[in-house]
Chains A and B, each alone.
Chain A
């Protein structure tokens, strides 16, 4: 059972454009939603995270939008740069557990 569904699988954006990656979850017990960035040969690195009591969180060029009723959340990367080219994973954690449940990833390519 895929508890966190991520789309699209791959995304190509021009430099300066906006990259948008979407995730949907099924388990309403999830209470923490982080996004991770992973470069080839590296481990995932935490980008930004949100809890369901807010609808939006912004850190620099990265924004999470959260829709609790729709059970969806998304990552927006403003002014995308070639250095942002990486694989992005959404994840979720339910309060009673500690482990993260990850989406399947989005490979982002930002063209110069």
Chain B
């Protein structure tokens, strides 16, 4: 289909609330990535899926962050007990093959924790 889509585009959460961010990758793309982009900075890797398997979660900043891709397509990034330092844009990217080359990014979800 079209490109990578993400929802919601904007999310405001009170400190301590849980949030769930959704990513719909390009149909048929094997690899899916989550990145965190702080204001004025480059994206930083959070986690990677190959189909439904989470192969790398080394970038998740704490155990409050959890991601899943149960059927190998849509993915959800969940943040529990949000903190102010979690405020950022969360980007999802997908890639056709398992090597992760040519990653196509969604528009991101801007999370603001108040």
A interface list, Cβ under 8 A from B: 6, 32, 34, 36, 41-46, 49, 89, 91, 93, 97-105
Contacts and interface: CB of A to CB of B under 8 A. Distances in A.
B65 to A, nearest CB: 15
B42 A99 contact: no
Contact of A46 (B40, B48, B103): B103
Contacts of B95: 98
B31 A45 contact: no
Nearest to A91: B42
A102 B44 contact: yes
Interface in B11-62: 31, 33, 35, 40-45, 48, 50, 55-56, 59
Interface residues of B, number: 29
Given A49-B102, A97-B56, A99-B56, A43 B91 contact: yes
Interface of B: 4, 31, 33, 35, 40-45, 48, 50, 55-56, 59, 91, 93, 95, 98-108
Contacts of A91: 42
Contact of A42 (B59, B103, B107): B107
Given A43-B105, A44-B105, A99-B48, A93 B100 contact: yes
Given A44-B43, A104-B42, A105-B41, A98 B100 contact: yes
A1 to B, nearest CB: 12
B5 to A, nearest CB: 10
Given A89-B43, A98-B99, 8 more contacts: A34-B102, A41-B107, A43-B93, A46-B104, A98-B33, A99-B48, A100-B100, A105-B42
17 contacts: A6-B42, A41-B107, A43-B93, A43-B105, A44-B43, A44-B91, A44-B105, A46-B102, A46-B104, A98-B33, A98-B98, A98-B99, A99-B33, A100-B33, A100-B100, A104-B42, A105-B40
